[in-house]
Structure 1
Amino acid sequence: MDDRDKSELSRMLWKISQLRSVEGKRPDNAYLVINIDEPYAEEVVDILKEYGHWGHVVDINQITAVFENETLLLPESEGDQ
């Protein structure tokens, strides 16, 4: 990345952190890893399912992008058409 790209990425990460704070969330994501061999693993999965955090979840804020000839291609949004 050139300096402009680095600056833009830094700005976006700062903005995400600030918006997460406004929503009462931690500024940065933190993850919990559970060993599936533990006797309580199925209970954890059940809790995740109960809150809708297990399996494929459609999130309109996420997109799929691909690289083609060293270029990042983003799908067209409805506003681009």
Structure 2
Amino acid sequence: MATGWAGDGAVQDQIDATVEDAVKRARSRLATGPGLLHCEECDEAIPEARREAVPGVRLCVVCQQAEDNQRAESGYNRRGSKDSQLR
């Protein structure tokens, strides 16, 4: 943390700016444009309501859930180990 005097709420302002930057970065990675009419994994039709709700959709609900589950179970530690942070 920086030394010296900081105005009231300076820490909260920094936290808010960090969160805002992260949200902007995440939104920039979202798919845009028209979605696919058929799932690129199983070739099932993607309902119009899903295509309207999720811009740039590529997968049907079943395949998207399977992909999300696989990603969650990958076991990859995104923060790194304690040892790697100490080096």
- TM-score per shorter chain, which class? 0.3 to 0.5
Which of 1 and 2 has greater Rg? 2
Q: Larger strand proportion, structure 1 or 2?
A: 1
TM-score (norm 2): 0.37
Q: Larger helix proportion, structure 1 or 2?
A: 2
TM-score (norm 1): 0.39
Structure with greater contact order relative to length (CA < 8 Å, sep ≥ 6): 2
